[in-house]
């Protein structure tokens, strides 16, 4: 028991040290940004990410720093990474729209099915933390209903607890699916942002293959496959080609 307590205390202490380190680096980076030393701020913000620490504020500030240093692709990349943590964040959405207005490509998207749009809207309605709370509440409803069923003597109350238990079970299952899908979306790397200024997509993963189309910095691209040092990509209008890995960053 003492060993377990020691491990728990050690774990909390280590996390506290890393949190304090991240906060210190964040303050230094913010100071660089306020002094308009954007390149220095970028280095500091990225050093926080290298410690496996991430937050909406971190990606927001890093995106702003890249934008101020005219690195449009990396600015969009970090705004998009922040939106994976909080899809409805108004500051990120606002700045992302401003930066996207400065990109070159205007690619018409293939219309999505209504059910796909509805599902994506549902997933982005709440953050992952909030979906966890919703799932927990329905599980608690289920457990409370089962407990009350066995301790009550009233037939009417037992029937009500059966009904509430079914609601708790259905809700727990349904919102667990949503939570899982939301976590999958946050951890997925199915999309990337083009960070190269201008590049031609290739017909095959080979420099000597034919050029298919030209795209520019800041474009959001679906990544379908990887082969060696190449990514197979698909644009929102359905065009498919290959790009070197070093020309884009996964979100």
More confident residue, 204 or 7: 204
Average pLDDT over residues 47-66: 93
238 SS3 class: coil
In eight-state DSSP terms, residue 50 is: T
Q: Pick the closest to residue 242 from 206, 216, 218, 208 (CA basis).
A: 206
pLDDT digit string, tens, across residues 62-77: 999 999 999 999 999 9
Q: How confident is the model at residue 189 (pLDDT cuts 50, 70, 90)?
A: low
Residue 35 vs residues 29, 79, 136, 175: alpha-carbon distances, Å: 10, 22, 45, 45
d(Cα 69, Cα 91) in Å, to the nearest integer? 19
d(CA 186, CA 251): 9
* Distance between CA atoms of residues 129 and 19, nearest Å: 19
Residue 11: is its pLDDT beyond 50?
no
The total number of residues written for the chain in this structure: 251
DSSP designation for 251 = -
Compute the Cα dihedral for 177, 118, 81, 221 and give only its sign.
positive
Q: Per-residue b/e over 136-168, b at no fewer than 16 CB within 10 Å?
A: eebbebbeebbeebeeeeeeeeeeebeebbeeb
Q: Global pTM? A: 0.68
Q: What is the mean pLDDT of residues 131-157?
A: 91
Q: Residue 251: pLDDT above 70?
A: yes
Q: Which residue has the tokens 């966890």?
A: 132
On whether the CB atoms of residues 56 and 85 are closer than 8 A, the answer is yes
When pLDDT is cut at 50, 70 and 90, the band that residue 14 belongs to is very low
The rounded distance, in Å, linking the Cα atoms of 153 and 179 is 36
Q: What is the secondary structure of 62-98 as a DSSP string?
A: HHHHHHHTT-HHHHHHHHHHHHHH-TT-HHHHHHHHH
């Amino acid at each position: 028991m003492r060993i377990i307590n020691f491990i728990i205390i050690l774990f909390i202490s280590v996390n506290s040290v890393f949190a304090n380190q991240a906060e210190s680096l964040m303050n230094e980076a913010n100071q660089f940004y306020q002094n308009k030393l954007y390149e220095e701020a970028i280095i500091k913000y990225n050093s926080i990410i290298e410690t496996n620490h991430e937050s909406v504020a971190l990606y927001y500030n890093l995106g702003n720093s890249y934008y101020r240093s005219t690195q449009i692709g990396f600015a969009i990349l970090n705004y998009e990474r922040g939106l994976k943590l909080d899809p409805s964040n108004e500051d990120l959405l606002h700045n992302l729209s401003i930066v996207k207005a400065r990109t070159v490509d205007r690619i018409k998207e293939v219309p999505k099915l209504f059910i796909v749009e509805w599902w994506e809207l549902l997933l982005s309605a709440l953050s992952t933390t909030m979906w966890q709370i919703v799932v927990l509440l329905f599980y608690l409803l289920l457990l409370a209903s089962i407990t009350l069923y066995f301790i009550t003597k009233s037939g009417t109350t037992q029937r009500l607890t059966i009904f509430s238990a079914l609601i708790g079970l259905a809700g727990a299952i349904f919102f667990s699916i949503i939570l899982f899908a939301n976590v999958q979306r946050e951890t997925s790397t199915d999309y990337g942002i083009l960070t190269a200024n201008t590049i031609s997509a290739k017909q095959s993963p080979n420099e000597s293959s034919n050029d298919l189309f030209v795209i520019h910095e800041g474009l959001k691209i679906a990544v379908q496959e990887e082969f060696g040092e190449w990514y197979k990509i698909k644009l929102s209008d359905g065009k498919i080609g290959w790009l070197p890995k070093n020309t884009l960053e996964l979100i």
